[in-house]
Chains A and B, each alone.
Chain A
Amino acid sequence: MAAYWALDVHFEGYFLCRLTTDPDPTDEPRGVSGYTLALAGETNLDNWIQLNPSAEYLRQNFREPGRSLVEHGKINLGVKVTGTTPSPDLVPEAAALVGLPVNLLPDPTTGTPRFEGRNDIVGSDDTISFAIDPFILDISNPDGSVKVNRQDLLPNGNAPIWRLPPDAYADRVGQMVNSQDAYAPGPLDVLEAIGVYDFYGYFLDRSRWLEVQIARSQDPDEVQRYKTRLNAINFFGDRIRSRLGLKCEWSFEIGGGSVGTVLGLHGIDTTSPWPVKFWMGGFDGDLMIGYMRGTLSLPMLVTEATV
């Protein structure tokens, strides 16, 4: 007999977030003074944390060489379930979770999930401490036969976060994690995840790639887009480079009075809070993608299982 209290669901992958950056107002649609910009032909900056963006969204907003890197398997764009603890060997139903997309869903009232900062009014740009709001975690397969879904509700009837005092959502706020190694440009797990150890070289390569595209292209609009990106990389320099080493960690319990939905897995407690722990970071401010890795713990109603 093996005893276990929870099914831990591990997930990771690249996400896309076309976020506004300080000192732009957080609802600035195109990007004016921060290092992120919406280029001609791209939709407005929306701050939407998309763990698995749609093909249509990517077609309009995901820049090269990002698309080519995905096509060649060099970037695993999309946050997916990578495994469980106990493994599917011990909990066969858990096998259905592996490989499924992990998403943060929009809320009909609050809108799309975003890092809530509002220029230091709700979060802190200085310490990069933001709550993700709304927070509706969803793991589903296309036919709906497997589903794990739950929203973390805020106090006062899930009041808008800007109306709540900071103490009311303190547990939801992520904290920046510094590198343990003073000589490393960022925490090692972030560097390993994105496979980048030389930030200067990474963006030097990007700048060279952009220069080659500028020389090759016959389309004046395309040339201008490349030039704008090149200028942003050169102008913001270390600020944009350093974000590759960014690591922000969240650890809280999904609940707040909500009840989870679970299909295709038996014995999951849908009323007790669901602990979730994850980090987001390794942000490429030119492609506007970052890396996410974490674990969702689903408490079990049954604490013992036959091996």
Chain B
Amino acid sequence: MIPDADRALAPSDDPAFFLDRFTNILASLQDLVNQAPEGVRPRLEYIWQSIWRTRANFERTAAG
């Protein structure tokens, strides 16, 4: 699903633009983690951790 704010597909060079979206993805994924059956949850948690880390890497790079 594409959020309304992204439908214009406007380019951006503002790091906050991307960091906000990472944050939204993490929130959505956390909802899935909370609902996931036991057998699936570890892999979703792993994905959540990897996206959290990707966001942190991006934030560090953006800060120079």
B43:A27 contact, CB within 8 angstroms: yes
Q: Count A-B pairs with CB separation below 8 Å.
A: 21
Does B28 sit at the interface, judged by CB under 8 A? no
Nearest A residue (CB) for B60: A165
Spot the interface stretch: B2-10, B11-19, B29-37, B45-53: B45-53
The CA-CA distance from A165 to B49 in the complex, in Å, is 13
Nearest B residue (CB) for A119: B50
Residues of B close to A119: CB separation below 8 A: 50
Does B56 sit at the interface, judged by CB under 8 A? yes
A121:B57 contact, CB within 8 angstroms: yes
A118:B60 contact, CB within 8 angstroms: no
Nearest A residue (CB) for B42: A27
The CA-CA distance from A108 to B46 in the complex, in Å, is 17
Q: Is the interface of B mostly helix, strand, loop or mixed?
A: helix
With an 8 Å Cβ cutoff, the count of chain B residues facing the other chain is 11
Residues of A close to B52: CB separation below 8 A: 162-163
A27:B60 contact, CB within 8 angstroms: no
Q: Is the interface of A mostly helix, strand, loop or mixed?
A: loop
With an 8 Å Cβ cutoff, the count of chain A residues facing the other chain is 9
B43:A121 contact, CB within 8 angstroms: no
Residues of A close to B42: CB separation below 8 A: 27
Does A98 sit at the interface, judged by CB under 8 A? no
Interface residue from A118, A160, A165 paired with B56 (Cβ < 8 Å): A165
Q: Of A119, A162, A163, A165, which is in contact with the most chain B CB atoms at under 10 Å from its CB?
A: A162
Taking the nearest CB of chain A, how far is it from the CB of B18, in angstroms? 16
Does B54 sit at the interface, judged by CB under 8 A? yes
- Contact mask A14-29 → B, CB, 8 Å, 1/0? 0000000000000100
Nearest B residue (CB) for A165: B60
Residues of A close to B60: CB separation below 8 A: 165
Does A214 sit at the interface, judged by CB under 8 A? no
The CA-CA distance from A162 to B57 in the complex, in Å, is 10
Q: Of A121, A122, A160, A165, which is in contact with the most chain B CB atoms at under 10 Å from its CB?
A: A121
Residues of B close to A163: CB separation below 8 A: 52-53, 56
Residues of B close to A27: CB separation below 8 A: 42-43, 46
A122:B43 contact, CB within 8 angstroms: no
Residues of B close to A160: CB separation below 8 A: 49
Taking the nearest CB of chain A, how far is it from the CB of B45, in angstroms? 10
Taking the nearest CB of chain B, how far is it from the CB of A125, in angstroms? 14
Nearest A residue (CB) for B43: A27
Taking the nearest CB of chain B, how far is it from the CB of A29, in angstroms? 9
The CA-CA distance from A121 to B49 in the complex, in Å, is 10
Residues of B close to A162: CB separation below 8 A: 49-50, 52-53
Top-7 shortest CB links A-B: A162-B53, A27-B46, A162-B49, A121-B53, A121-B50, A118-B50, A121-B54
Given contacts A27-B43, A118-B50, A121-B57, could you give 10 more A-B pairs where the C-beta distance is less than 8 Å? A118-B53, A121-B53, A121-B54, A122-B53, A160-B49, A162-B49, A162-B50, A162-B52, A162-B53, A165-B56
A–B pairs, 19, beta carbons within 8 Å: A27-B42, A27-B43, A27-B46, A118-B50, A118-B53, A119-B50, A121-B50, A121-B53, A121-B57, A122-B53, A160-B49, A162-B49, A162-B50, A162-B53, A163-B52, A163-B53, A163-B56, A165-B56, A165-B60
